[in-house]
Amino acid sequence: MSAQGSNLSEARLQIAPADANRVSMALLALGVAGLGASGYAIFAGGDKLTALTSYLVAFMFVATVGVGCMFFAMLQHLVGARWSVAIRRIAENFGAPLWLLIPLFIPIALNVPTLFHEWAGPGPLEEIVKAKVAYLNLPFFFIRAAFYLVSWAVLGYLVYKRSVELDKSGDPNLIIRLRRLAPPGVLLFGITLTFAGFDWLMSLDPTWASTMFGVYTFAGTFLSAMATVALAGRLLQKFGYVQGVINEEHYHDLGKFIFGFIVFWAYIAFSQFFLIWYANIPEETLWFRKHWTYEEHDWSMVGWALIFLQFLVPFFAILSRHAKRNAAIMIPVAVLLIVMHYVDLFWVVMPLFRKVASFEWTDAAALCGVVGIYLGVVVRTFGAAPLIPVKDPFLPDSLEYDNG
């Protein structure tokens, strides 16, 4: 028997559906409780706007991680990567339930005039906002949102479905179909994610604009997605799955992806700030002043936390080759990056509605609700098929992968 065949025969390659369902039900129960509390705060509570902003941040957190994972999976098909075959199913499992974003978007859709009140509310518009009315209007907003959500749901479903079909049939034509889907899919994901960042985050303050904001959104999305894939792989192995299949060579390359995007995120964040600071246009600089210190606004501690905990600390923590291959280092770094991605989105949204940094009960309720529902479905997906594409023709190359 070959080394590859021995690895596959000895490894636990699938989570028992009953085990996955037990964990899934617990997460779904947490999600239902969180959504119930969040729904009460939005529709019956006293501070509707606070609850809505909490829900928006939680929704964007789940959406960006899920979309980022499916982007990674499609990117591997696009370039014909062989090293990543053993870890690709993890990303596909996180991207498969993107259809959930459609019902999860409903509370936002029902409250657009409240949440985006500066351009969708009943009050008069500022002159600079009037100039953007051809783009910032309710019918076009809903058309774009529907296009983003349906595109993600369809592409996530197709990639996962064809990948799982390959497990059953071993038909190499499915690989060809996935590679044909990848170029338009990657392009569509990139465009829709960029404009979703414009629509659902940047337009909260329609007087501010940054052409780099879409790239900033993408950088945080892909960074958190890579951290999610790496963390999920390490946890699966911790519980006895895919031993000898996903190896340190795969984690090393994931670590290089993560390290590169730590730097890329920091570069884009600083570039966006630097260009606006240098131009010194009041309506542009005011956004950053509100997100740091301005009159009664004080969000500087969160800003410093992002600089240190999303850039400096993980940068130096995984700088060496040894660190990228060390689970004791990479697991806490991956957790830190996922948490800081939420903090990053929180920092983008909340200073526009809260003068001082604070974490309210509505933030916790929305986070538990949206993340609980999403992870509940993801865990069930993990138990529905093998944890690796067992009949992918390039799996042997991935099992033997050595990046030197």
Alpha-carbon distance of 69 to 120, in angstroms, equals 32
Looking at the chain, the whole-number percentage of residues with pLDDT higher than 70 is 97
Span of 149-153, 287-291, 377-381 with lowest mean pLDDT:
287-291
H/E run at residue 293: strand 293-294
Q: What are the helix and strand counts (H, E) for the chain?
A: 20, 2
- Measured CA to CA in angstroms, residue 261 lies from 77, 135, 240, 266, 300 at distances of 20, 31, 29, 8, 24
pLDDT in the model for residue 7: 59
Res 111 pLDDT > 90: yes
Span of 105-114, 157-166, 197-206, 288-297 with lowest mean pLDDT:
288-297
pLDDT in the model for residue 10: 59
**Contact partners, residue 380, CB within 8 Å, separation at least 6:** 20, 21, 24
Label residue 2 by pLDDT band (50, 70, 90): very low
Q: Which tokens belong to 211?
A: 């052409």
pLDDT in the model for residue 294: 83
Q: Is residue 295 packed enough to be buried (19+ CB in 10 Å), middle (13-18) or exposed (0-12)?
A: exposed
Res 282 pLDDT > 90: no
297-298/293-294 β-pairing: antiparallel
Asked, for residue 358, whether it belongs to a domain, the answer is: yes
pLDDT in the model for residue 71: 95
Decide: helix, strand or coil at residue 400.
Answer: coil
Task: Compute the C-alpha angle 25/98/168, nearest 5°.
Answer: 80
Mean pLDDT of the chain: 93
Q: What is the pLDDT of residues 155-199, one digit of tens each?
A: 999 999 999 999 988 888 999 999 999 999 999 999 999 999 999
Res 244 pLDDT > 50: yes
Q: Quick check: 119 and 129 in contact, CB under 8 A?
A: yes
Q: Quick check: 214 and 194 in contact, CB under 8 A?
A: yes
Range of the domain at 169: 3-399
Asked, for residue 391, whether it belongs to a domain, the answer is: yes
Label residue 26 by pLDDT band (50, 70, 90): very high
Label residue 3 by pLDDT band (50, 70, 90): very low
Q: Quick check: 214 and 361 in contact, CB under 8 A?
A: no
Alpha-carbon distance of 197 to 216, in angstroms, equals 9
Task: Compute the C-alpha angle 162/379/33, nearest 5°.
Answer: 130
Q: What is the mean pLDDT of residues 255-261?
A: 96
Asked, for residue 404, whether it belongs to a domain, the answer is: no
Closest CA to 76 of 97, 92, 56: 92
Res 1 pLDDT > 50: no
379-393 in b/e form (b: 16+ CB < 10 A) is bbbbbbbbbbbbbbe
Q: What is the mean pLDDT of residues 300-322?
A: 97
- Measured CA to CA in angstroms, residue 293 lies from 271, 298, 344 at distances of 20, 4, 17
Alpha-carbon distance of 270 to 246, in angstroms, equals 35
Tally of domains in the chain: 1
Q: What is the pLDDT of residues 201-230, one digit of tens each?
A: 999 999 999 999 999 999 999 999 999 999
